[in-house]
Structure 1
């Protein structure tokens, strides 16, 4: 089975060309996230991919640090217009050293379901945030996707699929609460099997 970094390095170019499938929902989530931004904020985004979301949010805050496990994703991100305003790094959020309570906002989009331990990532986001800080995530909750659960192990053996964690929307909400967060925004488009968008706040 291919390691996660090698998998994402391999598909980085294709990933960078894939269009956003639901632009209206994406723009809604951008706007809702920016409602929680301030000009003096320090933001950390993990699993940033090729940086498209980071580039849209960075002008609204003071500092934006975006990391991804894949060095190829980061290479593509750094070549984009406006990338000089963002600190892009190839890094694994689960192991990178971050000063506790040093960030105003953490973002992790389309990433929690790809981690070995999504609960640990949520707990690390909590520890990283200053009191009153927010964690923003858009996450595929795939527990009920039985066909995918059956074929995923085969796809992983053939190096066609990454690791996938299967949890429900309620599982994700519970992981947030167990970490200490209060969920302040909970949204998904009606009638669609799609990602759950959450904004969770660390108590003051």
Structure 2
């Protein structure tokens, strides 16, 4: 399996994904509120794993520039349709990964990654790329499932079986405390860790971290 396989999975499921509802609307609104509060004046934001652009369309109006990216051309195509229907000044969309962008000259003072880190294949490497994409004292804000803290049946049986038959993408398994250690090892200071879930027992911590 490879990044190309991951892209094909999301291309194949992009239209169905676009029709799915937010599972926890109140928790999502809390995440948007807390993230918006941390955006600095004249923010230059990069979002990784933007999917069909839902969050980008909600946050980009509070920034100077906002580049929303995803590994999937299919996801970006839907995001472009949404942006055309509801234009937001300063919002740009692109099919790209953190690794691709890190080799370019552009740097940002905020990087966002929502429901993203558990999908990357090299978590330490991706975090190093995110660190490189940020200006000094820049913020990385994430919210991602920590599968290592979830039901063992889900992570040890159900997810591997679904992945094997093409019904689920690659998913990395780590605990919230392990994610914090990975962030520190990549050169981040964790400023806040919060649980925004308003229903269920999911472990999907919202984390704000500063480049050191």
Q: TM-score, normalising length from structure 1?
A: 0.92
Partner of 2:19: 17
Q: 1:131 aligns with which of 128, 131, 136?
A: 136
- The total of aligned residue pairs comes to 203
Report the alpha carbon displacement of residue 85 of structure 1 after superposing the two structures with TM: 3.8
Indicate yes or no: 2:204 matched with 1:202.
no
Q: Where do 5+ consecutive residues of structure 1 fail to align?
A: none
Question: 2: CA distance between counterparts of 1:70 and 1:125?
Answer: 19
Structure 2 counterpart SS, 1:155: helix
C-alpha distance 200-92 of structure 1, shift in aligned 2 (>3 A): same
Partner of 2:44: 42
Question: 1: CA distance between counterparts of 2:203 and 2:23?
Answer: 11
- List aligned pairs for 1:145-184, cutoff 5 A: 145-148=151-154, 149-184=156-191
Question: 1: CA distance between counterparts of 2:181 and 2:136?
Answer: 20
Task: Report the structure, 1 or 2, having the larger helix content.
Answer: 2
Partner of 1:63: 65
Q: Where do 5+ consecutive residues of structure 2 fail to align?
A: none
Name the stretch that deviates more: 33-42 or 63-72.
33-42
Partner of 2:28: 26
CA contact (8 A) 1:187 1:196 kept: yes
Question: 1: CA distance between counterparts of 2:65 and 2:97?
Answer: 19
